[in-house]
Structure 1
Amino acid sequence: MSKNIIIIGGGIIGLCSAYYLQKEGHQVTIVDQSNMDAGASYVNAGYISPSHIIPLSAPGVMKQGLKWMFNSSSPLYIKPRLDIDFLKWTWAFNKSCNTAHVQKAIPTIKDITLLSQKLYEDINQAEGFHSHYEKKGLLMLCQTEKVLEHEVKTAHLAKREGLDVVELNANELKEVEPNVQLNAIGAVYFKCDSHSTPNEFMEAMKAYLKQVGVVFYSNETVEDLEFKNGAITAIKTNKQTLKADEFVLAAGSWTSLLSKKIGLKLLLQAGKGYRINSNQNTNITVPAILTEAKVAVTPMHGFTRFAGTMEIAGINHTIRKERVEAIANAVTRYYPDVVLSSEEKSQATCGLRPLSPDGLPYIGKSLKCNNLTIATGHAMMGWSMGPATGKLVSEIISNKKTSISLDMFHPDRIF
C-alpha cells in the first residue's frame, strides 16, 4: 500500500531512503535545513569500505582519547565540557570499548557494508549514473613496526570474515603505487574496498529523485513534531506544517535534538571531520589511510582528497587551523613529494558525523513512536553504509523482511 512519507534529512542516508521508498511506490518528501550541497555527505573520503569492520568504540580508544584531550591537533580530540548528554554518551562509549563488543559487531558491520557496496553498483548501473566509482582497494600505510603489527592483526580478522586482504612490504607497496614516493615500511592492502567522488553521486541521486517525483524542501528547518497517541501526525518547519503517514529521521548529528520531542533520548554526538582538496598531480591512484596520523587519502575525479580527524566538540562548523595543518603535515610525511599549498589549506571544510556510543548506527523503529523510523549514528561509515541503510528503511516501512538483521541497530538498545 502506498504511503505518504516525509524524510527529515537530505544527506546520503536520506537520499538513499527516498530512492528505495519511491521504488516501492510511496510518495516521498525530503526536508533539509541546508541547501543540500555541503556537510558530511559531501566532504567525506568517499570510501565504500567492507574493510572497516572494527567499530569506533574499540579497546584502547577511550584511553587514547583521554591522552589527546588537551591536544587540539590530535587525530582524536574530545573537548571536555559539562553537558549532560555528552557525559552520558561518554560513559556509554567507554562501556562499549571492549573486545566482546568488537567481536559481536564485526560480522554485523561486514554484512551492512558489503550489501551497501553491491547496492552502489546496482544503483549506478540501473539508473545510468556517471558518477565516479572504482574498486581499487585501500592501503593501510604504516611507518612503524608497532602500528603495522596492529594492522596485520586486523587483516587476519578480516580474512577470517572472508574479505580479500594482503600484507605488503615496502617493495611490494612500490609495485602497487609505482609513480609515488612513499615513506612507509609496509601496508595492509584491502582489495575488497571501493571509492567514489561523493558530490557526483549526491548530485546524480538528487536529479534522479526529482525526476521521479520526490518533493524537496531545502533550507527549511524542522522546529517541532506534532505527536499524539504514540504517533507523529505532522512536522512543523520554519515555513509550513507537513503531514504524512510515516516519517524517517535521518538528520545526522541533529537527529537526537528532534527525537527528544517525542521522548526518545538517543545518545548521539557530532564528530567533526575535515577535508582538503588538491588539484596537484599527486600521481596517487590507490586510496590509502595514513595509519599513524589517521588521515584518509582518496584519488577522486579530477582531484585528490585528504580527509581526517575526529573532533567531538558539539555541533559547530568552526575550522581549527591546527587540525588542518596536522592533516597537511601528515600527507607530506607519508608522500614527501606532496606539499599542500596555503590556498588549498585555506579552502578546507568540515562535516559532522553522527556518533553512537557503540560505533553502530541506529536503524529501526523505537517503541516510543509507531510511525517513525530512525536512521542515523553511522559515525565515519555513513558513506559506506548509505544505500544499505536506505534499503533497510524502505523494507521496514513497507513491512518486508529486512535484507540483514537489525538486532544490533535497534534505536532502543541499552548501553
Structure 2
Amino acid sequence: MSKNVIVIGGGIIGLCSAYYLQKEGHKVTVVDKSNMDAGASYVNAGYLSPSHIVPLSAPGVMKKGLKWMFNPASPLYIKPRVDADFLKWVWAFNKSCSVKHVKKAIPVIKDLSLMSQDLYDAIKSDENFSFHYEKKGLLMLCQTEKMLEEEIETAHIAKQEGLDAGEISKEDLKVLEPQVKLNIKGATYYKCDSHTTPQEFMEEMIAHLKAVGVEFYCNEQVKDLNLVNGAIASVITDKQTLTADEFVLAAGSWSYMLSKKIGLKLLLQAGKGYRINTNRPTGITIPAILAEAKVAVTPMNGFTRFAGTMEIAGINHKINKTRIEAIANAATHYYPEVSLTPEEKDNAASGLRPVSPDGLPYIGKSNACSNLTIATGHAMMGWTMGTITGKLVSEIISDKKTSLDLSPLQPDRTF
C-alpha cells in the first residue's frame, strides 16, 4: 500500500531512504535544514569499507581518549563538559568498550557493509549513474612495529570473517603504488574495499530523486513533532506544517534533539571530522589509512582528499586549525613527497557524524512512536552503510521482511 512519507534529513541516509521508498511506490518528501551541498555526506573519505568491522567502541579506546584529551592534535578528542546527555553517552560508550561487545558487533557491521556495497553497485547499474566509484581496496599504512602487529591481527580477524585481507610486503606495495614514496614499516591490504567521490553521488542522487517525483524542502528546519496517540500527526518546520502517514528521522547529529520530542532519549553525540583537498598530483592511486594518525587518504575524481579526526565536542562547525595541521603533518609524515599548501589547509571543511555509544547505528522504530522510523548513529560508517540503511527503512515502512535482523540496531536498546 502506497504511503505518504516525510524524510527528515537530506544526507546520505535520508537520500537512500527516499530512493528505496520511492521505488516501493511511496510518495516521498525530503526536508533538510541546509541547502544540501555540505556537511558529513560531502566531506567524508568516500569509503565503502567492509574492512571497518571493529566498532569505534573497542577495548582501550576510552583509555586512549582520556590520554588524548590533553592533546589538541590527537585523532580522538572528547571534550569534557557538564551535560546530562553527554555524560550518559560517555558512560554507555565506556561500557561498550569490551571484547564481548566487539565480538557481537563485528558480524553485524560486516553484513551491513557488504550488503551496502552491493547496493551501490546495483544503483549505479540500474539508474545509469556515472559517479566516480573504484574498487581498488584499502591500505592500512603503519610506521611502528606495534601498530603493524595490531593491524595484522585485525586483518586476521577480517579474514576469518571471509573478507579478502592480509599483510602486504613492501615489494608488492611498490607495485601497487609505483609513483609514491612511503615512510612506513609495513602495511595490510583489504582488497574488499572500494571508494567514491561523495559529492558526485549526492548530486546525481538528488537529481534522480527530483526527476522521479520526490519533493524537496531545503533550508527548512523541523522545529517540532506533533504527537497524537503515540503517532506523529505532523511535523512543524520554521516555514510550514507538513502531514504524512510515516516519518523517517535521518537528521544525523541533530536526530537526538528531535527524538526527545517523542519522549525517546536517543544517546547520540556529534563527532566532527575534517577534510583537506589537493588538486595537485600526488601519485596516490590506492586509498589508505595512516594507522597511527587515523587519517584517511582517498584519490578522488580529479583530486586527493585527506580526512580525519573524531572530535566529540557538541554541535558546532568551528574549524580547529590545530587539527587541520595534524592531518596535513600526517600526510607529509607518511608520504614525504606530499606537502599540503597553506591555501589548501585554509580551504579545509568539516562535517558532523552522529555517533552512538556502541558503534552500531540506530535503525528501526521505537516503542515511543508507531509511525517514526529512525536511521542515524552510523558514526564514521554512514557512507559505507548508506544504501543498506535506506533499503531497511523502506522495508520497515513497506511492512516487508527486512534484509537483515534489526534487533542489534533497535533505537530502544539499552547500554
Distance in 2 between residues matched to 1:229 and 1:258, nearest whole Å: 18
Bigger Cα displacement from structure 2, 171-180 vs 259-268: 171-180
Any residues of structure 2 matched to 1:18-97 within 5 Å, and which? 18-97=18-97
Distance in 2 between residues matched to 1:153 and 1:362, nearest whole Å: 28
Distance in 1 between residues matched to 2:114 and 2:148, nearest whole Å: 25
Q: Which residue in the other structure is 2:298 paired with? A: 298
Distance in 1 between residues matched to 2:50 and 2:350, nearest whole Å: 24
For 2:276, the aligned partner's letter is I
Any residues of structure 2 matched to 1:90-239 within 5 Å, and which? 90-239=90-239
Q: Which residue in the other structure is 2:327 paired with? A: 327
Query: Aligned-residue CA RMSD in angstroms?
Result: 0.5
SS across alignment from 2:57: coil
Contact 1:173/1:186, CA 8 A, preserved across alignment: no
In the TM superposition, residue 172 of structure 1 has moved relative to its aligned partner by 2.2
In the TM superposition, residue 240 of structure 1 has moved relative to its aligned partner by 0.2
Distance in 1 between residues matched to 2:379 and 2:408, nearest whole Å: 15
Distance in 1 between residues matched to 2:70 and 2:391, nearest whole Å: 41
Contact 1:180/1:284, CA 8 A, preserved across alignment: yes
SS across alignment from 1:381: helix
Any residues of structure 2 matched to 1:304-323 within 5 Å, and which? 304-323=304-323
Contact 1:271/1:352, CA 8 A, preserved across alignment: yes
Bigger Cα displacement from structure 2, 106-115 vs 172-181: 172-181
Distance in 2 between residues matched to 1:405 and 1:184, nearest whole Å: 40
1:387 aligns with 2:387: yes
Distance in 2 between residues matched to 1:201 and 1:195, nearest whole Å: 11
For 1:153, the aligned partner's letter is E
1:265 aligns with 2:265: yes
In the TM superposition, residue 227 of structure 1 has moved relative to its aligned partner by 0.2
> Normalising by the residue count of structure 2, what TM-score does the alignment of the two structures yield?
1.00
SS across alignment from 2:333: helix
Contact 1:251/1:376, CA 8 A, preserved across alignment: yes
Distance in 1 between residues matched to 2:209 and 2:168, nearest whole Å: 43
Q: Deviations over 1:184-226 (max 9, x none)?
A: 1111100000000000000000000000000000000000000
Distance in 1 between residues matched to 2:173 and 2:406, nearest whole Å: 38
In the TM superposition, residue 70 of structure 1 has moved relative to its aligned partner by 1.7
Contact 2:58/2:98, CA 8 A, preserved across alignment: yes
Query: What 5-or-longer segments of structure 1 have no aligned partner?
Result: none
SS across alignment from 1:80: coil
For 1:188, the aligned partner's letter is T
Q: Which residue in the other structure is 1:404 paired with? A: 404
Query: What 5-or-longer segments of structure 2 have no aligned partner?
Result: none
Q: Percent identity?
A: 74
Q: Which residue in the other structure is 1:10 paired with? A: 10
In the TM superposition, residue 173 of structure 1 has moved relative to its aligned partner by 1.6
Contact 2:156/2:166, CA 8 A, preserved across alignment: no
Q: Deviations over 1:36-81 (max 9, x none)?
A: 0000000000000000000000000000000011211111011111
Q: Which residue in the other structure is 2:246 paired with? A: 246
Distance in 2 between residues matched to 1:361 and 1:81, nearest whole Å: 24
In the TM superposition, residue 170 of structure 1 has moved relative to its aligned partner by 2.1
Distance in 2 between residues matched to 1:168 and 1:117, nearest whole Å: 24
Contact 1:170/1:184, CA 8 A, preserved across alignment: no
Contact 1:270/1:313, CA 8 A, preserved across alignment: yes
In the TM superposition, residue 257 of structure 1 has moved relative to its aligned partner by 0.2
SS across alignment from 1:140: strand
